[in-house]
Structure formats: C-alpha cells, structure tokens
C-alpha cells in the first residue's frame, strides 16, 4: 500500500518514514478501543492510572488495544468487551461503535474506535491486568463537570477524549 521505511521497531511501537514524514505505528496491535460506558443510573465509568510518558496520573475513559493478545485475530467489539471487564469490572449488554478516527493524525497512524457500552453489570473489581494499576471511578453525569474540575485542580491530567464522550452523551438523551 505505502512504501514506508522502518527507522525503529520495538516491542510495542515502530518509527516509520513515509515520503519524508516520520510517524509512530503500533507494532503489537491493530487498533485501539475507547469505551463510553454509562450505567442505567446515568453514571459514566472513568478510570485513572499513572502514565509513564507524562509522569502523572491521568483520568481517562476505559480503553485498550485491539489484537494485542497472542496472535489471535480480534474484532473491535470483542476487544471492547474484554477491555471493559478487565479495566472496570463491568460487562455490557449492548455495545456499538460510535466513531472511528485518528488519535493524532500528524504523529501516528493509530485509529481509535469509540464504543458505546450500555446495560452495564458489575462482574468483578476491575483494575486492569498484572501490568496495570487502574482505579475505577463511577461518576453521576449530572456531577461529572465538577468532578473532573476537582481532579484537574488536584493535579490530575485529563484525557480529552472524555470531553468527546460527554458531548455525545449530551446529544443523546436516551443513552
């Protein structure tokens, strides 16, 4: 498809060059899922974890890689269900892809699939896999703006994808 030059290949990332433009590519996955998960009580499910590249805790939507386990092909919705349960301890009765878009089009070829998850049921504690230390936050939608501001004031970083999710939720009164 493209005549890319590989400048570096690591376990998780590669640095490629295409027609003079350098960019990052995932070496170990085919995509990323980001979950917009809301309980029947109109609470958004968020996660918090320390992110080494920026050296601080980040409040995020639950998310993860597609196709990063073994060499087994995995669909976006299967990965979304796996990541939701692994990170948050919830399963969802309904899942649908809301949007697929680049995460940082000038720096990476990564495509993010936003997935709506509803009909949630708590089945476990969440917290991520053995390599993660994820804290789960269940926040009422009518308090989420204040809750996020309080966390930002306390020095937590905010993933901007949260605000995309809140926009979609504000447009969709029957989540």
Instruction: Give the pLDDT score at 129.
Output: 76
Count Cα atoms within 13 angstroms, Cβ side, for 35: 33
Q: Where are the domains of the chain?
A: 29-171
pTM to 2 decimal places: 0.90
Instruction: Give the pLDDT score at 173.
Output: 52
> Residue 14, Cα to own-chain centre: how many angstroms?
20
Mind listing the pLDDT tens digit of every residue in the chain (175 residues)?
778 999 999 998 999 999 999 999 998 888 899 999 999 999 999 999 999 999 999 999 999 999 877 767 789 999 999 999 999 999 999 999 999 999 999 999 999 999 999 999 999 888 777 777 899 999 999 999 999 999 999 999 999 999 999 999 988 754 5
Q: How far apart are CA 87 and CA 125, in angstroms?
A: 8
Q: How far apart are CA 165 and CA 136, in angstroms?
A: 17
Instruction: Give the pLDDT score at 126.
Output: 86
Instruction: Give the pLDDT score at 174.
Output: 46
Question: What 3-state class would DSSP assign to 143?
Answer: helix
Out of 2.40.40.20, 3.40.630.30, 3.40.50.11890, 3.90.79.10, select the CATH number for domain 29-171.
3.90.79.10
Instruction: Give the pLDDT score at 68.
Output: 79
Strands (E), the chain: 5-9, 13-18, 21-26, 31-37, 43-51, 56-60, 63-66, 90-102, 111-122, 135-140, 157-158
């Amino acid at each position: 498809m493209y005549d890319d030059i590989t400048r570096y290949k690591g376990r998780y990332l590669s640095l490629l060059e295409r027609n003079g433009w350098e960019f990052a590519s995932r070496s170990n996955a085919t995509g990323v899922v980001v979950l917009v998960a809301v309980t029947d009580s109109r609470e958004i499910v968020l996660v918090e974890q320390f992110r080494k590249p920026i050296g601080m805790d980040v409040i995020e939507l639950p998310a993860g890689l597609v196709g990063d386990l073994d060499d087994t092909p995995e669909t976006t919705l299967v990965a979304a269900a796996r990541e939701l349960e692994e990170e948050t301890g919830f399963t969802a009765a309904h899942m649908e892809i809301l949007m697929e878009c680049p995460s940082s089009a000038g720096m990476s070829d990564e495509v993010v699939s936003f997935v709506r998850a509803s009909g949630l049921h708590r089945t476990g504690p969440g917290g991520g896999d053995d390599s993660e230390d994820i804290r789960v936050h269940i926040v009422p939608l009518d308090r989420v703006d204040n809750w996020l501001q309080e966390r930002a004031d306390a020095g937590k970083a905010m993933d901007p994808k949260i605000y995309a999710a809140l926009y979609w939720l504000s447009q969709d009164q029957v989540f």
